[in-house]
Structure 1
Amino acid sequence: MGNAKSSAMSKEILEDLTLSTKFTEQELSQWYENFQKQCPTGRITPSEFEAIYSRFFPESEAKSYAHHVFRSFDTNDDGTLDFKEYIVALHMTSTGKMSRKLEWAFSLFDLDKNGYITKAEVSEICHALFKLIPAKERSRLPEDENTAEKRANKLWSYFNKAAGGRLTEAEFIKGIVENEDALHLIQYQPQE
């Protein structure tokens, strides 16, 4: 009888997620049940993740940004997201502390996972982020932010680095925290 519920979340994962997120056991159990329904294999593939992301941004081209977000969430680099990776990512991006969100943002920008961010990496992520902005919203952007390249240049300028320089995680977080305008350049919030 001990294995009657084989699709239930393991007690170890439940305890770990309860300690590492702000979600309750009941919330985690509900998330798990929904995850199992949506992903019967117990894993989310990049294409499934892109499809999910595209539903959140129906008027945008979300594929390239979703690719980068997926890469940053796939902490064990196995090409899929399991439930634990999914929940930790959900927690970090929705209810986590600002410092944790900025740590995640650093991992998003650190394309090659070498512990540094270059201007080229900033540019690539800014291009992916810019594609999330619907055309009607792009026309209302300030002159110095109305293209992906301008946004990347503006963001890079907040870090006081030469074009060939590179940023550590601490420098990235400090640059964002010390410049209020920088925060909106590393994320997209749909206008209502």
Structure 2
Amino acid sequence: MGNRQSKLSQEELNQLQKDTHFDKKELQQWYKGFLKDCPSGMLTKEEFQKIYKQFFPFGDPTSFADYVFNVFDSDKSGSIDFKEFICALSVTSRGKMEDKLDWAFQLYDIDGDGEISYNEMLQIVEAIYKMVGLPLFLAVHMHRLTRFKVGSMVKLPADEDTPEKRVRKIFKMMDKDENGSLDMAEFKEGSKRDETIVSALSLYDGLV
């Protein structure tokens, strides 16, 4: 879909309606906006970072945007076409819980080996803290209302005031076999008990 056509073909529309939770009108509107921001029809990592910087002017979202970009870029081509963009947006904004958990697992499983190591989760959580200057659960629920000007008003819980403490807390809850990594089952079970892991996906809805 990188051929810069001004409108989606009927065939493309039909397929995307099957592949996403968006209707025909929504898909056309998203495509129009996508081409406005990306006239080439392809979204680069640098352009993706710029989008995040608009929403997080008081932090550094570069690293987190890179991790999210890598999940959006499903064919690992180094750029995101409209199909990849809208399919990822569909999952994160309107997908079923199981689909959101699958998507989130890909985000945390940086090397794609099917398990989330302590260090992988730490990298993601560090990127989130660096981006918003708040722990994940506060960022999720407060960012749209406050525009991130709440740092001085929030006292972080003692067991979550650093990325390391946050990740230790998550692993203590999720890593049932205590082997230092989370498989899909452990991640899904733990995420269902800690809503902040899943509600973080709401960050992507509206950032793209």
TM over 0.5: same fold? yes
Q: Report SS of the residue matched to 2:126.
A: helix
- For the pair 1:142 / 2:141, whether they are aligned, the reply is no
Partner Cα separation in structure 2 for residue 9 and residue 17 of structure 1:
10
Q: Report SS of the residue matched to 2:21.
A: coil
CA contact (8 A) 2:92 2:201 kept: no
CA contact (8 A) 1:13 1:84 kept: no
Question: What does residue 65 of structure 1 align with?
Answer: 64
Partner Cα separation in structure 2 for residue 154 and residue 76 of structure 1:
33
Runs ≥4 in structure 1, deviation > 4 angstroms?
A: 161-164, 180-184, 186-189
- Structure 1: runs of 5 or more not aligned: none
Deviation at 1:178, TM superposition (A): 2.8
CA contact (8 A) 1:132 1:188 kept: no
Deviation at 1:32, TM superposition (A): 0.7
Change (3 A) 1:169 1:37: same
Change (3 A) 1:27 1:166: same
* Correspondences of 1:85-164 after superposition (within 5 Å): 85-134=84-133, 136=151, 140-161=155-176, 164=179
Q: Report SS of the residue matched to 1:143.
A: coil
Change (3 A) 1:23 1:182: closer
Question: What does residue 22 of structure 1 align with?
Answer: 21
Question: What does residue 13 of structure 1 align with?
Answer: 12
Change (3 A) 1:88 1:142: same
CA RMSD of superposed structures (Å): 2.3
- Structure 2: runs of 5 or more not aligned: 135-150, 204-208
Q: Which has the higher contact order (CA 8 A, sep 6+)?
A: 2
Q: Report SS of the residue matched to 1:158.
A: helix
Question: What does residue 54 of structure 1 align with?
Answer: 53
- Residue identity over aligned pairs, in percent, reads 41
Deviation at 1:7, TM superposition (A): 2.8
Q: Report SS of the residue matched to 2:65.
A: helix
Partner Cα separation in structure 2 for residue 179 and residue 134 of structure 1:
20
Q: What is the number of residues matched between the two proteins?
A: 184
Change (3 A) 1:28 1:188: closer
Change (3 A) 1:35 1:73: same
Deviations along 1:149-191, one digit per CA (max 9) or x if unpaired, are 111111111113566532222221111113446556x5686xx
Partner Cα separation in structure 2 for residue 162 and residue 50 of structure 1:
37
- For the pair 1:173 / 2:194, whether they are aligned, the reply is no
Kindly provide the amino acid, as one letter, of the partner of residue 91 in structure 1: S
Deviation at 1:6, TM superposition (A): 4.0
Q: Report SS of the residue matched to 1:31.
A: helix
Partner Cα separation in structure 2 for residue 137 and residue 164 of structure 1:
38
CA contact (8 A) 2:175 2:186 kept: no
Partner Cα separation in structure 1 for residue 198 and residue 157 of structure 2:
15
What TM-score do you get using the length of structure 1 for normalisation? Answer: 0.85
Partner Cα separation in structure 2 for residue 110 and residue 56 of structure 1:
25
